[in-house]
Structure formats: C-alpha cells, structure tokens
Homo-oligomer: A and B are copies of this chain.
Amino acid sequence: MIKNIKEEFPIFKNKINGKDLVYLDSANSSQKPQSVIDAVSFFYSNEFANVGRGIYTLAVNASDKYEKTRSNLKKFIGASSDCEIIFTKNATESLNLVASCFGEKFIEKNDEIILTETEHHANYVPWDFLRKRKGAIIKFLPIDEDGNLKVDELEKLISNKTKIISITHMSNVTGAITPLEKIIEIAKKNNIPVCVDGTQGAAHLDIDIKKMNCDFYAFSGHKMYGPTGVGLLAIKYKWLEAFDPFMGGGGMIDYVTKKNIAYARGVWKMEAGTMPTAEVVALNESINFINKIGKKNIIEHEKKLTQIALEKLRSNNSVRIIAKPKNQGGVFSFNINNIHSHDVSTILDQEGIAVRGGHHCCQVLHEVLKINSSVRVSFGVYNNESDIDALCDGIKKCQKIFKK
C-alpha cells in the first residue's frame, strides 16, 4: 500500500532544480495528498458557508462537516468522553492556550513548571511568558549524551510547588520518543497535570489519549498531511470548564450586555471568531488518508527508513549523528565535519533534496549537545529507500565541494 503512495501527492510530479524532489522535511510540514487538496477545492466550490451561525442549508451542512472532523479526530486519538477537541490555528496556539489559561488561574509566583531539554520553542516560550509575567520557575528534565530523557531524575525535580509538566511526544530533532507512560505515571502519582506536545506524534506515532491519560495533547493539521491554518488541542473537559477563554469574540459568548459578558460552555468557549472552516473540513480527509494506510504500517515504514539511513550514514566517517536515542521515530539530525548545516542544505537543494539546517526551533537542545546547528532528516509516508540513496550521494557532493 505504501509502495505507490507517492503517486497520491501531486508535488512529486515537479522537478526541483531539474531533479526529482526528495522531500526529507516532513517534521517541518508534510506534503498534501490529492484527496486533501480536492477536499478544500470541493468545499469552496460547492458547500462554503461560515459555520455555527447561519441556519440556512449551506451553513447547516458546513457546520455538520466541521463537527464531523471533530468527532473523527476524537476517534483518531482515542479520546474518551471526558475529553474534547478545540480547533486552533496551529500547535503553537494550542500550547499558548494551555500555558496562558492554565497560568492565569493556577500559577503563582515561585510555582514550578517542568519542561525538558528537548522541547521545541513552541513548548518553552509560552511558559517563559509565565516566568516573566508571574515569576514562575521553569525546570528542565535533562537528557543523557545519547539524547534520552533522564526520566529517573523526574521525581527529584518535582516539589510541592510543581504545577504542571509539559513535554513533547517525540523530539523534532533527534527523533527520540518520550517514555510518556512512565512520566505521566509519576506525574499522576503526584497529582500534577501533564500537557503533551504531540505535534510530531500525531501522524507518526501510536496515539491513545485515554490510555496515555494526559490532560492536554496539542498538534497541528499541516504536519499530518492536512492543510495549513488549523491546529488542535485535545483537552480534558474539566480543564475546559475551569479555564477562562483564551480569546474573545463572536461564537464564544452566552450573552452580552453593556455591563457584563457570560461565556458559552464547552469547546465553543475557546473557538472565537470565524474558524478555519475549509481547513477543518479538509482535515477530515487527512485522517481518512492516515487511517487508510494504517498507523501501524506508517510507524513501521518510517522506522525502517530511519534505520537504513542511519546505517548508511554511519558508514561515512565524516558524518556525526547528533544523538542515539533508545526509541526513535522517523527523524534524526547530523552534521558533516567542518561543513555548516546551511551549506549542506544549500548544496543538497541543488540535487532536489529538501532538508533543513539550523537549530530547528530547539536552541536549548543544541546548547546541551554543544553544537551550533544540525542538518535534519525527517520521513513521511511518501519516502523510500531511493531518497536515502540520494541523500548519501548528496552528502558526498558536499564533501567533494568542501575538499580544497
């Protein structure tokens, strides 16, 4: 099934600098299958209306489709009935919503927030706002030299001031998969809510929110073969009840007078203004696409590619893989001796290979690993072994150009 999947992605029909596109940047954003692209067009061409407001036929149908994506997403992540899904604009907004709404109500001066050294800026900067605004303290769960979280040190970090733990599901740099069960077990024992940054998990890892038992799970549509402009937040209902709204506007109110404003209940409270309607509707096709292939097959496919790539790259003495996590998804990063990641990226681009150089929005991690930047390779369903061969050839080309 995965074998011919590339054909479903029209972008691969194009040439990049005269070469076939070798797209190795899915951790940044994934390419879109035809079915998702068509869903956007179809909606605009035949069914478009704003949702939640009008009671005419177009508006009713649009609202139904919008809600259908929500219920399919719940199934997709295995949410139980005490869990809701809020639509946002991206995972970043989802994480800002959690930090801001949780912080506003439950974080006081000197309260502690636990993150990890592997967090993406999206799961650090919003908490830093609370450090600046409220005088909260941020502690970082460290990693070992292989890039594995030192979960054993978590209990030591926890104090009676610890108010929340927020961690990534998978590192977008090293591909290290977080041992969530262990971490959440410890957190729950200490009665601490857990927010999971699932941005890298959603399309690439097994998700069972109910079993995972986290309080929040944030992710993005555009990294799961879906449209840009839509993010998601799975949230336990009790938090939805406890939180004040993140933004104010149409659709999130119960009533409004000059003196006072009462908020709507449930997910509505958090969905102010016109939502990314077409994006949410089309996102349903991304879920269908992933389900059609099967998460299990995707995981297997991407793990296999990663192992093959790592093996090949390790046989090149000038290549240093920056981490060696125990449990790894379809992402890894490397450097070539004496060649900066951006030079690598530029040279590979000439071969049609799209990889990202830099710190990948993880400056803390790079600081800890004592490197300035790295080249990241990340896989999606459409990648195959010939992409890895192209990468290896490209790396040799970099070395050749830099050999004086």
A122 to B271 Cα, complex, angstroms: 12
**B14, B47, B92: the one within 8 Å of A273 (CB):** B92
Q: Which of B59, B90, B229, B346 contacts A278 (CB 8 A)?
A: B229
Q: Does A399 contact B (CB under 8 A)?
A: no
Residue of B nearest to A128 (CB): B261
How many whole Å from A358's CB to the nearest CB in chain B? Answer: 7
Given A48-B11, A249-B121: A54 and B275 within 8 A (CB)?
Answer: no
B349 engages A125 (CB within 8 Å): no
Q: Is A44 positioned at the interface, with any CB of B under 8 Å from its CB?
A: yes
Tell whether, in the assembled complex, residue B89 and residue A276 are in contact, meaning their CB atoms are under 8 Å apart.
yes
Q: Nearest-CB distance from A335 to chain B (Å)? A: 16
In the complex, are the beta carbons of A253 and B90 less than 8 A apart?
no
Query: A250 an interface residue at 8 Å Cβ cutoff?
Result: yes
The contact of A251 among B10, B53, B93, B361, by CB within 8 Å, is B361
CA distance A279 to B126 in the complex (A): 25
CB distance from A14 to the nearest CB of B (A): 5
What residues of chain B lie closer than 8 Å to A253, measured between beta carbons? Answer: 121, 125, 363
A283 to B: closest C-beta gap in Å:
11
Asked if A25 is at the interface of the complex by the 8 Å CB criterion, the answer is yes
Q: Contacts of A277 on B, CB cut-off 8 Å?
A: 29, 222, 228-229
Determine if A16 and B228 form an interchain contact, defined as CB atoms under 8 angstroms apart.
Answer: no
**CB distance B354 to A272 under 8 Å?**
no
Q: Are A258 and B16 in contact (CB under 8 A)?
A: no
Is the contact region of chain A dominated by helix, strand, or loop, or is it mixed?
mixed
Report the Cα distance A251→B252, complex, angstroms: 29
Known contacts A257-B367, A258-B140, A361-B250: A345-B228 contact under CB 8 Å:
no
Q: How large is the interface on A (under 10, 10 to 19, 20 to 34, 35 or more residues)?
A: 35 or more
Contacts of A25 in B (CB 8 A): 49-50, 54, 56, 59
Is residue A348 contacting chain B, with contact meaning CB distance below 8 A? Answer: yes
Residues in B whose Cβ lies below 8 Å from that of A242: none
The reply to whether B120 and A276 contact each other, CB–CB distance below 8 Å, is: no
Specify which chain B residues have a CB less than 8 angstroms from the CB of A361 in the assembled complex.
53, 249-251
> Bound state CA distance, A47 and B354, in angstroms?
13
1/0 per residue, CB under 8 A from B, across A243-259: the answer is: 00101111111011110
Q: Could you tell me the distance in whole angstroms from the C-beta of A273 to the nearest C-beta in chain B?
A: 3
A124 at the interface (CB under 8 A from B): yes
**Are B91 and A273 neighbours in the complex by a CB distance under 8 Å?**
yes
Contact B49 A29 (CB under 8 A): yes
Q: Give A380 Cβ to nearest chain B Cβ, in Å.
A: 12
Interface check A301, CB cutoff 8 A: no
Counting from the closest, the 8 A-B pairs by CB-CB distance are: A92-B273, A125-B248, A229-B229, A229-B276, A92-B249, A250-B361, A122-B249, A89-B89
**25 A-B residue pairings within 8 Å (CB atoms):** A16-B56, A28-B49, A28-B53, A44-B227, A50-B222, A54-B345, A54-B354, A55-B349, A55-B356, A55-B357, A90-B274, A92-B250, A92-B273, A93-B247, A121-B248, A121-B250, A122-B248, A122-B273, A124-B261, A126-B249, A128-B248, A222-B274, A228-B276, A257-B367, A258-B367
